[in-house]
């Protein structure tokens, strides 16, 4: 390698990694704050590197706050939403991709349209609906509300994954005497499985991170998910304990880190297929 070329690569490395660290600094700071002793926190001037590491904030979070309750609620909520959406969405996507009937294209366009709708438009009628059904303050109301964005999203992603399964495979199964449903289960599902799994994980993230519906529909600790629950800890506390909140933030992000590790290879496909909600 020529010396000029090598120094360019060095420079590219330095600039890129410098920026990467700058971008991740807030996340690093979250972790640092969460393991810092309370006494060190309010030093002026603050030190960047903690002198001692402690897990007292995590212990306090789990023992003295309703954090675990919120965590469980979020788990149940995100898992239920994902299951409902993936089952319904997989059948729907298969229908949109491999069957022909009147209005199919219009339907596909409508799904994309609903995916772009602002939640604030739907939230008032949905809130009234939940009150009428007696579902206000329940996790069920949130699962129902979350399908408004999760189902169109999953359907759109799944549609593109299913369209990628070679049609010949299905035709071959049909020639061999399989029924459409048989071909779906034996041929399409296994082929589309990676796509289905990544769609499920993306859907889980969406539900896990949702805030607005949870804010409006649920007003009791019994059914409060993490997003509104942790925010509530900030609002209702007398003096804000930032290390506790940072510990909560770390804990809240752990499932995402795990999912993220799985998703690495699917990221670009997921985005190419219509984008991740933001």
Contact set for other proteins, span 128-187 (CB under 8 A): 128-129, 131, 144-145, 147-148, 151-152, 155, 159-160, 163-164, 167, 171, 180-181
Name the segment binding other proteins (CB under 8 A); options: 11-19, 53-61, 64-72, 192-200.
Answer: 11-19
Helix/strand/coil (H/E/C) assignment for every residue in 86-140: HHHHHHHHHHHHHCCCCCHHHHHHHHHHHHHCCHHHHHHHHHHHHHHHCCCCCHH
Binding residue for other proteins, selected from 118, 134, 220, 239, defined by CB under 8 A: 118
Cβ at position 112, least distance to other proteins in Å: 6
- What is the nearest approach in angstroms of other proteins to the Cβ of residue 194? 16
The region, left, alpha or beta by phi > 0 then psi within -120 to 50, assigned to residue 144 is alpha
Binding to other proteins, residues 207-226 (CB under 8 A): 208-209, 211-212, 216, 226
* d(C-alpha 85, C-alpha 204), whole Å: 10
- Find the angle CA(148)-CA(154)-CA(156) to the nearest 5 degrees: 105
The angle subtended at Cα 89 by Cα 87 and Cα 93, nearest 5°, is: 125
Enumerate residues 81-110 that contact other proteins by CB under 8 A: 88-89, 91-92, 94-101, 104, 107-110
Map the footprint of other proteins across residues 17-76, applying CB under 8 A: 17, 19-21, 23-24, 26-27, 29-30, 33, 41-42, 44-46, 48
- DSSP conformational letter for 187: I
**Residues 184-203, interacting with other proteins (CB under 8 A):** none
């Amino acid at each position: 390698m020529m010396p000029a070329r090598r120094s360019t690569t060095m420079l590219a490395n330095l600039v890129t990694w410098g920026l990467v660290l700058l971008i991740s600094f807030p996340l690093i700071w979250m972790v640092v704050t969460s393991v810092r002793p309370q006494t060190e926190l309010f030093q002026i001037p603050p030190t960047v590197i903690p002198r001692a590491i402690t897990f007292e904030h995590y212990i306090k979070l789990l023992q003295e706050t309703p954090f675990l309750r919120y965590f469980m609620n979020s788990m149940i909520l995100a898992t239920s939403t994902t299951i409902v959406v993936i089952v319904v969405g997989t059948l729907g996507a298969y229908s949109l991709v491999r069957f022909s009937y009147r209005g199919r294209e219009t339907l596909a366009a409508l799904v994309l349209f609903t995916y772009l709708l602002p939640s604030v438009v739907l939230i008032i009628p949905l809130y009234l609906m939940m009150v009428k059904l007696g579902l206000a303050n329940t996790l069920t109301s949130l699962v129902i509300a979350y399908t408004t964005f999760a189902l169109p999203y999953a359907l759109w992603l799944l549609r593109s994954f299913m369209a990628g399964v070679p049609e010949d495979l299905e035709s071959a199964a049909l020639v061999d005497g399989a029924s459409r449903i048989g071909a779906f289960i034996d041929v399409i599902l296994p082929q589309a499985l990676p796509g289905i799994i990544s769609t499920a994980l993306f859907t889980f993230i969406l539900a896990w991170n949702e805030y607005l519906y949870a804010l409006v529909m649920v007003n009791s600790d019994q059914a409060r998910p993490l997003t509104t629950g942790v925010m509530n800890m900030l609002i209702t506390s007398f003096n804000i304990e930032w290390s506790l909140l940072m510990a909560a933030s770390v804990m809240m992000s752990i499932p995402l880190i795990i999912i993220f590790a799985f998703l690495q290879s699917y990221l670009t496909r997921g985005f190419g297929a219509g984008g991740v909600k933001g």
